[in-house]
Structure 1
Amino acid sequence: MQPAVEVSENALTERQKDVLDAALTLLVEAGDTLTMTSVARRASCSKESLYKWFGDRDGLLTATVQWQAAKVRGVPVDPEAFSLTSLTSGLERFASDWLRVLSGTISVALNRVAVGHAGSDKHDLGAIVLENGPFAMARRLKPLLQLGRDTGLMSFDDTDEAFRTFFGLVVRDVQIRLLLGDRFELTEAAINRDARRATQQFLALYGVHTKAADDGH
């Protein structure tokens, strides 16, 4: 079930953001034992408010995952002022946001619970995370990729394939290492460095100007 409110930075009230932050904290602490009652208690709000805002438990879980994913900012697309510089900066910002969220304690805990659901009879959170995590990231980045292609800055046949390539270059083995308990820390400097590296590698594969420079044209 989709939440009753649109989950984005601008659509939520401060109170609703506090509730979703409380739900995320509970997911870290309690995993899939999260209930409407426990969230209401932790957030000091009524269950009636939760049902009004988010519908049932699946709606609350969906809103919680969407709220976490919303921390990866979308990239504004302005065809009138689009250039290789804006394409590069957009990709770098998206990649750094993605790494920052992905490596956080909340995302690691959320993904661990979702993986557990996928391997059992409980499929709700796994499907919710898949739809509102990686799939949502793809929907958010595709307009930038398509504009890059339409303006001749990039060349690729399939937008989905291009996104999956970018996904691999950005995420690498970071997510699986964190899920398996590796306690390495991504500093801000490392995140920004890795975002730049992933963007450079991606443009080396798909960037028309980059390919031309490499060919000596």
Structure 2
Amino acid sequence: MMVASAVANSEEVFTPRQQQVLTAALDLLVEQGDRLTMTSVARRASCSKETLYKWFGDRDGLLTATVQWQAAKVKAPQVDRWRLDAASLRQSIEQFARDLLGTIVGDVSVTLNRLAIGHAGAEKHGLGAIVLENGPLAIRKRLKPVLEAGREARLLRFDSSEEAYRSFFGLVVRDAQIRLLLGETFTPAEAEIARDAARATEQFLAIYAVHQAA
């Protein structure tokens, strides 16, 4: 029995053509920020505004789908709940850490988060709520079932999967996100991301893993 993702796979939700449109919208968000319009997306993606409205409803609907598409880069680990062992659990957690860190430090995520912070608590298209609900909150739902499966298999020990995930997030992201949001420019290489993900996984397991006696 597999641990299913709590969030539908965006590659299954969106058609290949819709994925092209959402990629174009992400590119425009990086270039234009809050000036993004349905017209500019239609022009960049070579489609009609009517098609955009049909697919996504309105600008908020397009922004929601765009955030979902970006968040889809952090894949939900798939593990066998009945054959879960320490090695496969570690592999799943480390892969998630690589996806999470690689996505968060990218230009698109930094742009989305900056815009969302500017809109938080304001009546500006609700972008803050859109990013929160379809970004961080959706992503955490993809790992928590794996953590809970690890607890059921007596490989992990914690009282709350929410608290365990927050610890995991802090170990993976550290201060990278806030430094980028405040304007520091750095682009870690894949090898550096992989190294940091492995370190964070090791630290997480040092806190929460159940260590069996020899």
Q: Distance in 2 between matches of 1:56 and 1:17?
A: 17
In structure 1, the partner of 2:145 is: 143
In structure 1, the partner of 2:166 is: 164
Relative contact order (alpha carbons < 8 A, sep ≥ 6): 1 or 2 greater? 2
* Amino acid aligned to 1:54: F
Q: 1:180 to 1:119 in 2, by over 3 A?
A: farther
Q: 1:154 to 1:98 in 2, by over 3 A?
A: same
TM-score, scaled relative to structure 2: 0.92
CA offset digits 1:151-181 (Å, max 9, x no partner)? 1000000111011110100110000011111
Q: Distance in 2 between matches of 1:119 and 1:103?
A: 24
* Amino acid aligned to 2:70: Q
Task: Find the partner of 2:155 among 153, 156, 159.
Answer: 153
Percent identity between the two aligned chains: 64
Q: Distance in 2 between matches of 1:123 and 1:139?
A: 25
Alpha carbon RMSD of aligned pairs, Å?
Answer: 1.5
Q: Does 1:193 align with 2:195?
A: yes
Q: Distance in 2 between matches of 1:119 and 1:57?
A: 19
TM superposition shift of 1:119? 5.9
Question: How many residues in Structure 1 have an aligned counterpart in Structure 2?
Answer: 207
Task: Find the partner of 1:90 among 74, 92, 101.
Answer: 92
CA offset digits 1:71-117 (Å, max 9, x no partner)? 11110031132111111000000000011111111111111111111
Alignment of 1:113-132 (within 5 A): 113-118=115-120, 120-122=122-124, 124-132=126-134
SS state at 1:10 partner: helix
Q: Distance in 2 between matches of 1:32 and 1:119?
A: 16
CA offset digits 1:110-144 (Å, max 9, x no partner)? 11111111164426111111111110111111110
CA offset digits 1:45-80 (Å, max 9, x no partner)? 011111111111111000000000001111003113
Are the aligned partners of 1:7 and 1:63 in contact in 2 as well (CA < 8 Å)?
no
In structure 1, the partner of 2:175 is: 173
For structure 2, the residue ranges without an aligned partner over 5 or more in a row are 1-7
Q: Does 1:27 align with 2:29?
A: yes
